[in-house]
Amino acid sequence: FSKVEQNTVVNMKDQDNLYTKMAESIAPGVYGHLDVKKGILLQLFGGIKKDTTDKIQLRGDINICIVGDPATAKS
């Protein structure tokens, strides 16, 4: 990333409704379905890997299932 791009990303944190704006930027040609877009956004960022006290490792991936009619761009 260039310095300009880095500064743009850092300055985004001060925007109002950043979570919604980022979700709305996913598949802008698909109208509505904001909750689905937010789920996809969370999937892109992932979660936090955790280790329990019993030495069990929990992966940090968020799993989502998108349900809808055939040929409605769910892949």
CA distance 39 to 48: 16
The amino acid at 53: T
Cβ(64)–Cβ(40) below 8 Å: yes
pLDDT at position 26: 92
- Work out whether the CA dihedral 38, 73, 9, 11 comes out positive or negative: negative
The residue assigned the tokens 């040609």 is 29
Mean pLDDT of 37-59: 85
* CA 12 remoteness from chain centre: 15
pTM of the complete model:
0.59
